[in-house]
Amino acid sequence: MEAYDAIGESIQAWWTLSPVSVTRRGIDHVVAVQRGVTRELFEIVPGSWETRVTDRLDKGGRPISKTAFMVTPVSEGTLFDEVVGPHGHRVTGRAKGAQNSLYYWPR
């Protein structure tokens, strides 16, 4: 479970995303992906969202917000088998060189 803890801590924060949009879309899981292969599955803890406004501005001159959330590891079950399984699954449709290693589930 130690690997889950380390990966979970690394994916919890700080992302440029909208908690309202994530919730409205029914997204309740995130998937850690390394080199195009799913590695770990986590459930987003409801109500754990925290958003901070940074000192940086976007191209439109608006302050950039970053959001964090708590997660619980998912290491078994139908969804785990579908998303990660024993060796991970290749993720397609990513732009070459994409920096974001966070996936929402369902996609």
Give per-residue pLDDT as tens, 17-39.
Answer: 889 988 899 989 988 888 888 88
Amino acid at 36: G
Helices (H) and strands (E) in the chain, counts: 3, 6
**pLDDT confidence band for 63 (50 / 70 / 90):** very high
Q: What is residue 15's DSSP assignment? A: B
> pTM of the prediction?
0.76
Indicate the number of domains in the chain.
Answer: 1
- Structural domain for 59, as ranges: 2-105
Contacting residues for 93 by C-beta, under 8 A, at least 6 apart: none
